[in-house]
Amino acid sequence: MTLAEILASLFPEGHDVTVRDGLVSGAGPLSGGRITVIGIDGDTPLGVDGALQLSRCVLDAIRAGDGAPILVAVDSDSQRMSRRDELLGLNECLAHLAKALLLADRSGHPTIGLIYGHSAAGAFIATALATRILAALPGANPSVMDLPSVARVTKLPLDKLEDMAKSTPVFAPGLDNMVATGAVHVVLDPDKPLVDQIRDLIADREPGDARDRLGAERGGRPVARDVARAVIDQARRG
């Protein structure tokens, strides 16, 4: 689905969401109130300027004090890898956006990510993965890091990583693997109204981060939840 189709399915009565230079912002009606919409469209890379603009939208929503949900729609490239962005502290700006979304969630604003295209690396982490619940549409292509990049970082041969990725989802990009690890909570049905599906996700969300539980149940991260619990228990005893 295109962003225009997504917005039409979300807001059959109209909305004020706009796209400028690949950045999405605005709001629309939902369940008698409003839902704030931010995001990235058109496979746009996320740089310093974009991260700060989106952060401002999130902080403005928090300041409104109405507890309105925040939807983060994502079809991005990776972070903008330019000398200017790196010198201006791109890593800090991406972290600022992620922390703004975390603050929104803790301040009573349900945060829902919706990936409908591509996304990778820092841009994926600071937007889609920074929300409490991440949904996807068929055809989405998310990845934290592609396998050639993983090979460079880990110094493992690419063919070995490709073989490992066949049975271990954490080594592999793509929507199916993100679902298996619990990073993507649910794949939505584009043939049904998205407004109903997003409303249900907000209503049925559970407290805390469910990704470790989902990863264990789906077999994509079979031990991560137990390891995390053991570390927490040990820290509390120490």
pLDDT digits (tens, 9 = 90+) for 53-97: 999 999 999 999 899 999 999 999 888 888 999 999 999 999 999
With 80 as the cut, is the pLDDT of residue 170 above it?
A: no
Side-chain-side CA neighbours of residue 108 (13 Å): 7
Nearest of 100, 181, 112 to residue 144 by alpha carbon: 181
With 80 as the cut, is the pLDDT of residue 171 above it?
A: no
Say which residues have a Cβ less than 8 Å from residue 94's Cβ, sequence separation at least 6. 46, 51, 79, 122, 123, 125, 126
Say which residues have a Cβ less than 8 Å from residue 228's Cβ, sequence separation at least 6. 212
Q: Give me the domains of the chain, ranges plus CATH numbers.
A: 3-237 (3.90.226.10)
Q: Distances in Å between the alpha carbon of 173 and those of 80, 156, 211?
A: 20, 17, 17
Residue-wise pLDDT tens digits, 183-219 = 999 999 999 999 999 999 999 888 888 888 999 999 8
| Interaxial angle between packed helices 211-218 and 224-237, expressed in degrees from 0 to 180 and rounded to the nearest 10 | 140
Question: What SS3 state is found at 96?
Answer: helix
Say which residues have a Cβ less than 8 Å from residue 58's Cβ, sequence separation at least 6. 36, 38, 70, 97, 100, 101, 103, 104
Question: What distance in Å separates the CA atoms of residue 236 and residue 238, rounded to the nearest whole number?
Answer: 5
With 80 as the cut, is the pLDDT of residue 238 above it?
A: no
Amino acid at 86: E
Torsion angle of C-alpha atoms 211, 156, 79, 54, degrees rounded to 10? 20
pLDDT category, 166, cuts 50, 70, 90?
confident
pLDDT for residue 140: 94
Q: Look at the block and give the residue holding tokens 């225009």.
A: 4
Question: What SS3 state is found at 188?
Answer: coil
